Structure formats: C-alpha cells, structure tokens
Chains A and B, each alone.
Chain A
Amino acid sequence: MAERHHHPRPKPGPVALALRVAVIAYLFLLVAWPLFLVVQNALASGLGPISDLLADPDVRHALRLTAVAAAVSVAISTVFGVGMSVLLVRYDFPGKRILNALVDLPLSVSPVVVGLALVLVYGGRDGWLGPALEDAGVQVIFATPGIILATTFVVLPLVIREVVPVLEEVGIEQEQAATSLGASAWQTFRRITLPSIRWAVLYGVVLSLARALGEFGAVKVVSGNVLGRTRTAPLVVEEKYLNFDRDGAYATALLLVLVSVAAIVAVSLIRNDRETT
C-alpha cells in the first residue's frame, strides 16, 4: 500500500495556507451557503414538511422512481463507461479520436434539446424508432425506460472522463507483464486494470449518481410528468414550486441532496478504511 500520510507533515507555508483559505472561501460562497439556505428553508417550519412528504404516496413513488432510474443509469453508464475508457486509452482503431470527442458531447446539449432529441427518435407517434418499439410492446417515451434513457444520456461522460486520465497516467507495463505471464484479457482487466482505476471509477459513480438524482430538464420532457407514474423527485420539486408550496419544494430537494451526500460519505469512509489498512 502506498504510504501517503505517514511522514510528519511540515507546517503549511504561507502559500499553502493562503490556498487553503481561498479554497474554503470559494466553496463557502458558491456551495456551502446556498446549501445551508436549502436546509434552512426546508426546515423552516420544522420537520413537518419532510414527514408530510414521506407520507404522501405520490412523493414516495417519485422518490422510488428517481432512485431506480438513477441506480440503473449509473450502473449502465459505469459498466459501459469503464469499457469505453479502456477501449479509448488502450487500443487503436479507426475513428477513435472522433469517438473520444463525441463522448463529451452529451453534456453540451441543453436539457430541453436532450428531451427533444430523445422524443424525435423514440417518440411513440412520430419517432424514428418509437413506433416500431411500441408495436413490439416497449414504450420508451412517457414511461420509465425513457427516464432511464434521458438520465443515462446526461451521465454518460462522467465515468469515462474520470477513468481516462487515470488510465493514461497509470501506463501499461503491468498489464503487459500480466499478459506475457499468460493472463487472459479478462483476468488482466480484473486484477490489474480495474484496481488501478478504482478511485476514478468510484468518483465517477458518485458524480454520476449525484447528477442522475438531480437531473430535471431532460427528464421533464421525456417523462410526461404523470402523477404517481412518471413523475420523478426533481419534477416533484418543480410542481411544488409552481403551486407555491415552497417548504415542500425545498424539503424534496433536501432529500435528494442528502442521498448524494450519503454517497460521498460512503466513498470517504471507504477511503479511510483503505488508508488505515
């Protein structure tokens, strides 16, 4: 295990101190304080709004739907993301650089356009593939698969972009050594490559999860927002906002943030676990 924080640290010089202060100030102003405001607004009337939320079957359904969609899209995106990263870094093939550039593209698409694009292809009435799929019994738009599709779309680049730099950094000798010793591609991948990128993958998963939970614009277009069926938690936030139920809107947003925070805490704990082993 790399011995990292075991030598006595010198007292931070003025530069390090200034950096620390600057970073803390930046994060405070940009994130911590807004977050504090969310918490404050959510709890302004006590825990009442939150317990009302959790008691409302429609909201529970929305939370469950969001959790499922997020989990599935993060899982899909991680599996394929790691695979694509290995392909992009370790192999050469025609069109590789184009594929590499295209991977980031989903992020640059405005959520409304994402929804629009997915409806254009998978819409049940006029889409390119939609009617055929519906004939086969698969409804994509205005149903859960559409929500998962939209969420995966926006989450897609995150794992890849986490893993690729680390894969490039790590280099290939270990893997070549393993292969020359007779390991199969899969074994090499499992025992050499995967462990070397685990933090990148983990960060990618955490980021993707956070993004998937909070995705609003694209899901709004493809889900149809049907109460009790295709309404996700962020859509609940919007609906409460539209109905002047501020407490409810903030409370729902807080729940979403808490799940994301829980994920980061889990990662932190895992890292602690590792460092003390």
Chain B
Amino acid sequence: MRRTLRALAVLMPLTMVAAACGGDDDGAAPGGAGGEISIVGFAVPEAANKAIAEEFVQTPEGEGVTFRTSYGASGDQSRAVVSGLEADYVHFSVTSDVTRLVDEGLVAEDWDDGPNKGVVSSSIVVFAVRSGNPKGIETWDDLIQPGVEIVTPNPASSGAARWNALAAWGQVVASGGTEEEANDYLDAFFANVVALPGSGRDATTAFLSGTGDVLMAYENEAILAHQNGEEFDYIVPDTTVLIENPGAVLVDADPVADDWLAFVLSEAGQRQFALKGFRPIIDGVEFGEVDGANDPADPFPVVANLLTVAEDFESWEALSAKFFDESDGIVTKAIAASGKA
C-alpha cells in the first residue's frame, strides 16, 4: 500500500510534465542574424503587432529578426519594465506609462520629439449599446438621463480607463460649457454608473453579460469584439477624445528596434493597425475594408469635434494631476461623491 502511495506520488508530477511536453523549448531561440527585439506592450495591440512583425521580417531591415513579446495591462507592463523586465520597444496605452520609464532613465527624454509626437496607434472613445440601441442613446446628454445605466472602466485603478472620464468632462467644455458645468456633468455621469470594472476588457465583459445600458468603450476594442463575434452596436458621438497610444524605443535597445519603430509608423505598419480597428496616425493609408466596424467601407468616420490631450488638456501630466489625483482629482472626487449618494 505504501508502495502504491509512493509510486503515485512520484508518477503524478511526472505524468503532468510528460503530458505537457511534446516539443522543444520553443520561443527560446537566440536572436537570429538580424537581432532580437523584446516588445513589452499593452494587451490590445498584440494581434496587430504580430501582423506587423510578420511584415517586418520580410523587409531588408527586418530580415532574420526574432521577437520576444510580453503583453498585459498597460500600467502593469510599464512597472514591470521599471523593475527590470527586458525590453527594447514598448507600446503602452497612455503617455504616463512611458513617462515612468523616462523618469527611470530607460527611455530618452526626446522620445516624443518626432513628427508623430511619440504616438504609435490611436483610437477614439465611443458608446457601446445593446443591439438596435433600444434606449436611443446618441449623445452625451443622453447618458445622464435618469434611468440610463452606464458601465465604464475604473479610472482609479486603470490608467487606460482615464480616456473615458476625460471625454465625458472635455466634451462639455468643448461645446462651450464652463468648467463648473463640466464638473456637474461628471457628477451626473457617475451617478448613473452602475459598475466600475477594473479594465476596459472587464467592462466589456460586464456589459456583454447584461450589466448596464451603455458602455464607455474604445473604438478599436469594439471593432475587435465584433471581429470575434460579440453582438452589440457602437455609436461615435459628435464630440469625443482621441486616444493616443505611445510607443518608444529604450535607451539600450538593440539598434534594429529603431528600424522596427520606423516600420510601425510607416504605411505598412499602420495598415495592420487599421485592420485591427485602430485609427491610422498618418493620412493616406490604404487598408481596404475593416471587418467589424459599423461600416467596413468607412470604418473610421470623421469626428465633428475631436479633442486631443495636447490641444485641450495641456499634457498628460497636467491632466493626471487635475483630474486623477488621489485626493483632489476632479474625477476622483466625482466617483467618491457618487458612492456616498
């Protein structure tokens, strides 16, 4: 009996390992003739980056290049790089995640001096509603009507979620309102919020599982969700914020990473982003039809009033302090007030 026990105890881990085995240790091949690029990025552009990589290795600069990749929540990834996660190129959701690396000396201070200002991919904030839009939600004012239930990712615990709150506040000022009125709008907005999931993806899940009438979403995630069979509609409001995702090459990166960045910013790279639902950051990119968009032939309708961080909010640092400071941020206070109501 003892023998059985011992035998089983030994066999179990062995069978587990054996079952999982069945191939070489893939992915650990050392950098090919062209070098190795370590990409650390936020989760959503993973598919796009993969597609771009496949194109890149066919170019003369990219020949023989291999990739090491790590994707996750933007803030987590940024902090991981600070803690020592090896990276040559980073692609994050918000500028503050790159600024963190600049402060640690991992990224050069002039990373955003180029013509693209450090931006690598972009999208916009949209409303996701139930198929057929039963509650007829079209405008920002519709959101604060009584009885409308909003789902939005939590700006406190997710940097990427801050775009939504920014859009909600900024659209008041952009339409001629005062800051006071914008603050009031935010209070009404958060009073209607029924869930603050931790991330954009969690918010989408909560919404698709039946919570709320409208989800504050990103256009590219909405398109990606459609491409994967999820059923809902999304509305592009007249006024919204341009989401700008920064990308940067690290200071001690493999030199081929600069070629990579240039390729990502080129038409070929931006085309792949477009096919996955991101808005190209340069004009004139030919991408044909984009599956999953409201109108695949015209997937990125022009927004009447498009707000950007640079023009409407000064800078990401400034708005972080003004809106999201842990004790005094306008949004922080609005959220806390909504809970006490």
> Smallest CB-CB separation from A273: which chain B residue?
B4
User: Complex: how many Å from CA A68 to CA B76?
Assistant: 25
Given the contacts A64-B20, A67-B13, A142 and B8 also touching, CB distance less than 8 Å = no
Binds B, one of A83-91, A149-157, A174-182, A236-244: A236-244
Give the contacting residue for B84; candidates A124, A228, A241; CB below 8 A: A124
User: Complex: how many Å from CA A103 to CA B226?
Assistant: 48
Contacts of B20 in A (CB 8 A): 60, 63-64, 66-67
> Smallest CB-CB separation from B225: which chain A residue?
A244
In the assembled complex, the CB of A174 is this many whole angstroms from the nearest CB of chain B, namely 18
Give the contacting residue for A68; candidates B17, B86, B201; CB below 8 A: B17
In the assembled complex, the CB of B29 is this many whole angstroms from the nearest CB of chain A, namely 9
Q: Which residues in chain B, 101-134, are within 8 Å of chain A measured between CB atoms?
A: none
> Smallest CB-CB separation from A246: which chain B residue?
B228
In the assembled complex, the CB of A76 is this many whole angstroms from the nearest CB of chain B, namely 12
Q: Which residues in chain B, 62-88, are within 8 Å of chain A measured between CB atoms?
A: 68-72, 76, 80, 82-86
Q: Which residues in chain A, 156-187, are within 8 Å of chain B measured between CB atoms?
A: none
User: Complex: how many Å from CA A60 to CA B21?
Assistant: 7
In the assembled complex, the CB of B123 is this many whole angstroms from the nearest CB of chain A, namely 16
Give the contacting residue for B46; candidates A58, A243, A246, A273; CB below 8 A: A243
Tell me whether B26 and A227 are in contact (CB under 8 A): no
Tell me whether B21 and A64 are in contact (CB under 8 A): yes
Q: Which residues in chain A, 191-241, are within 8 Å of chain B measured between CB atoms?
A: 198, 202, 205, 220-221, 224-229, 231, 238-239, 241
User: Complex: how many Å from CA A123 to CA B80?
Assistant: 10
Give the contacting residue for B70; candidates A60, A205, A221, A225; CB below 8 A: A225
> Smallest CB-CB separation from B227: which chain A residue?
A244
Contacts of B84 in A (CB 8 A): 123-125, 130, 141-142
Q: Is B16 an interface residue (CB 8 A)?
A: yes
Q: Is A126 an interface residue (CB 8 A)?
A: yes
Q: Is A108 an interface residue (CB 8 A)?
A: no
Tell me whether A67 and B26 are in contact (CB under 8 A): no
Q: Is A129 an interface residue (CB 8 A)?
A: no
Contacts of B43 in A (CB 8 A): 239, 242-243
Give the contacting residue for B1; candidates A74, A141, A246, A274; CB below 8 A: A274
Tell me whether B69 and A244 are in contact (CB under 8 A): no
Q: Is B302 an interface residue (CB 8 A)?
A: no
Tell me whether B68 and A229 are in contact (CB under 8 A): yes
Query: How many A residues, CB 8 Å from partner?
Result: 51
Q: Which residues in chain A, 253-277, are within 8 Å of chain B measured between CB atoms?
A: 259, 262-263, 266, 269-270, 273-274, 277
Tell me whether A244 and B70 are in contact (CB under 8 A): no
Contacts of A34 in B (CB 8 A): none
* Size bin of chain B's contact surface: 35 or more
Give the contacting residue for A123; candidates B71, B83, B201, B224; CB below 8 A: B83
> Which of B68, B76, B80, B224 counts the most A-chain CB atoms under 10 A from its CB?
B80
Tell me whether A61 and B83 are in contact (CB under 8 A): no
Q: Is B337 an interface residue (CB 8 A)?
A: no
Tell me whether A227 and B1 are in contact (CB under 8 A): no
In the assembled complex, the CB of B190 is this many whole angstroms from the nearest CB of chain A, namely 25
Tell me whether A125 and B228 are in contact (CB under 8 A): no
User: Complex: how many Å from CA A226 to CA B86?
Assistant: 9
Given the contacts A142-B84, A266-B8, A270-B4, A58 and B26 also touching, CB distance less than 8 Å = yes
In the assembled complex, the CB of A226 is this many whole angstroms from the nearest CB of chain B, namely 5
Q: Is B60 an interface residue (CB 8 A)?
A: no
> Smallest CB-CB separation from B68: which chain A residue?
A226
Give the contacting residue for A61; candidates B25, B80, B228; CB below 8 A: B25
Binary interface encoding of chain A residues 115-127 relative to chain B, with 1 for a CB under 8 A from any of its CBs, else 0: 0000100011110
Partner-B contacts on A (CB < 8 A):
54, 57-58, 60-61, 63-64, 66-68, 70-71, 74-75, 119, 123-126, 130, 141-142, 198, 202, 205, 220-221, 224-229, 231, 238-239, 241-246, 259, 262-263, 266, 269-270, 273-274, 277
In the complex, 30 of the A-B residue pairs with CB atoms within 8 angstroms, ordered by the A residue number, are A60-B21, A60-B22, A61-B23, A61-B27, A67-B17, A71-B13, A71-B17, A75-B13, A123-B84, A124-B84, A125-B83, A142-B86, A198-B5, A221-B80, A226-B68, A226-B85, A227-B68, A227-B69, A229-B27, A231-B70, A238-B72, A239-B43, A242-B44, A244-B230, A262-B12, A263-B12, A266-B12, A273-B4, A274-B1, A277-B1
The 10 closest A-B pairs by CB, nearest first: A228-B27, A244-B228, A124-B84, A64-B20, A71-B13, A57-B26, A63-B20, A242-B43, A67-B16, A125-B84
